[in-house]
């Protein structure tokens, strides 16, 4: 997901490709990004990358420490080993803190307390709730999920959180609510990426109410048996394991219930490449690269990608009758 007009001859299809954008030259010049740095930032985790940016995994006290580790829900199993924390905590997409994968250090600047989530739109009664009140009103569980970025890399992560389904009981949407619109914090003083005005900040994502009612979407508050680290989107992010990673919005400050389909951050930037549904499908390539296989982070392995990232049994029915829509990207 880089911001340059990348021509086919500058970036071979064979390399893991960033969620690159076709923006105008003015933005590229403003960003001071040259072709060389784009190419350097585009590859999957390499041994050399890892040496130079291994994240600091020291922990600071968190007001929810007593809730971890949460009980694992054993119904979610993996077909591959968990990704090492040192790998996944050092290879992130978090554009608020920069366009490289190495943003863990910058993300530490973000304070995650106090943190309030605003719930508004088509609900019985709009309200605001502090993150700790919210977490303590819900049931935390751990789930092992595969996670697949549209850039064709993948990891396997032990997330902790509460189901989005259970959040609906707290939010109390009215019958007119058809979509949930999620919004990330906005504060360019700590998130320098938000000074880049050609992006449509704040980061926004959305799902349908039917998707939200499914059992899979997790409102994530922790990872690897501990409260969430900043680079993963603390203190609250969404995880939608059957969709490309960009749908899994980080650092949520607002959830709005709407009648009309909201436009996501990436859709606003490049709708032809990043659509609303963004369900994983190996048979539907991104306009500029294949989605048939994925690079397993932390290994040299490239494995076949599965339809709905392997979660078809749980979610395929959500898309029956919608075949005319662009369900995959
Ligand atoms: N607010 C916000 N949420 C975001 C992003 C972002 O840049 N900002 N990146 C998305 C993308 S492209 C991916 S692949 C995942 C990465 O999650 P991870 O860093 O925890 O692996 O977060 C998604 N959520
Ligand atoms: Mo992504």
Q: What is the CATH number of the domain that holds 152?
A: 3.90.420.10
- The reply to whether 228 falls in a domain is yes
User: 34: domain range?
Assistant: 8-319
For residue 41, how far is the Cα from the chain centroid? Answer: 19
Q: Any idea how long the chain is?
A: 329
| Best mutation site among 146, 240, 248, 297 for ligand 1 pocket (most ligand atoms within 8 Å of CB) | 248
Contacts of 144 (CB under 8 A, 6+ apart): 72, 76, 77, 78, 82, 156, 157, 158, 159
| Tens-place pLDDT, residues 295-312 | 999 998 999 999 999 999
- Tally Cβ neighbours within 10 Å of residue 26: 9
pLDDT > 70 fraction of the chain, expressed in percent and rounded: 84
Instruction: With H, G, I as helix, E, B as strand and everything else as coil, classify residue 75.
Output: coil
Q: Which residues approach ligand 1 with their CB closer than 6 A?
A: 1, 19, 92-96, 149, 184, 203, 232-233, 245-246, 248-251
65 Cα–ligand 1 center, Å: 24
- The reply to whether 38 falls in a domain is yes
Q: What is the mean pLDDT of each run of 10 residues along the chain (329 residues)?
A: 39 38 37 32 45 81 98 96 96 96 95 98 98 98 98 97 98 98 98 96 98 98 98 98 98 99 97 96 97 94 97 98 96
What does the pLDDT read at residue 12?
33
- The reply to whether 327 falls in a domain is no
What does the pLDDT read at residue 44?
43
What does the pLDDT read at residue 52?
54
Q: Count CA atoms closer than 13 A to 235's CA, side-chain side.
A: 19
Question: Helices (H), strands (E): how many in the chain?
Answer: 10, 12
- The reply to whether 3 falls in a domain is no
Q: Whose CA is nearest to atom 5 of ligand 1?
A: 94
What does the pLDDT read at residue 1?
55
- The reply to whether 303 falls in a domain is yes
- The reply to whether 230 falls in a domain is yes
What does the pLDDT read at residue 35?
30
- The reply to whether 2 falls in a domain is no
Number of compact structural domains in the chain: 1
- The reply to whether 241 falls in a domain is yes
| Tens-place pLDDT, residues 163-212 | 999 999 999 999 999 999 999 999 999 999 999 999 999 999 999 999 99
């Amino acid at each position: 997901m880089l911001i340059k007009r990348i021509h086919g001859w500058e970036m071979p299809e064979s390399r893991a490709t960033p969620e690159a954008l076709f923006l105008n030259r003015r933005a590229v010049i403003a960003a001071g990004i040259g072709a060389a740095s784009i190419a350097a930032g585009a590859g999957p985790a390499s041994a050399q990358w890892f040496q130079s940016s291994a994240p600091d995994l020291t922990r600071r006290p968190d007001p929810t420490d007593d809730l971890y580790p949460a009980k694992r829900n054993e119904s979610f199993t993996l077909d591959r080993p968990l990704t090492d924390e040192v790998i996944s905590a050092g290879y992130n997409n978090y554009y608020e803190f920069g366009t490289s994968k190495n943003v863990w250090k910058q993300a530490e600047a973000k304070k995650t307390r106090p943190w309030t989530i605003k719930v508004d739109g088509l609900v019985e009664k709009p309200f605001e709730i502090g993150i700790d009140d919210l977490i303590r009103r819900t049931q935390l569980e751990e789930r092992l999920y595969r996670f697949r970025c549209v850039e064709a890399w993948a990891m396997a992560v032990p997330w902790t959180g509460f189901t989005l389904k259970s959040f609906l009981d707290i939010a109390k949407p009215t019958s007119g609510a058809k979509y949930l619109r999620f919004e990330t914090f906005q504060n360019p003083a700590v998130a320098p990426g938000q000074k880049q005005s050609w992006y449509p900040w704040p980061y926004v994502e959305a799902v349908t109410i039917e998707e939200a009612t499914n059992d899979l979407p997790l409102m994530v508050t922790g990872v690897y048996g501990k409260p969430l680290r900043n680079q993963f989107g603390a203190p609250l992010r969404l995880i939608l394991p059957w969709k490309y990673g960009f749908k899994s919005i980080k650092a949520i400050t607002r959830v709005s219930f709407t009648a009309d389909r909201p436009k996501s951050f990436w859709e606003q930037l490049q709708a032809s490449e990043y659509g609303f549904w963004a369900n994983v499908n190996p048979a539907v390539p991104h306009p500029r690269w294949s989605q048939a296989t994925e690079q397993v982070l932390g290994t040299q392995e490239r494995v076949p990608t599965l339809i709905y990232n392997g979660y078809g049994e749980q979610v395929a029915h959500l898309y029956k009758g919608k075949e005319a829509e662009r369900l995959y990207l």
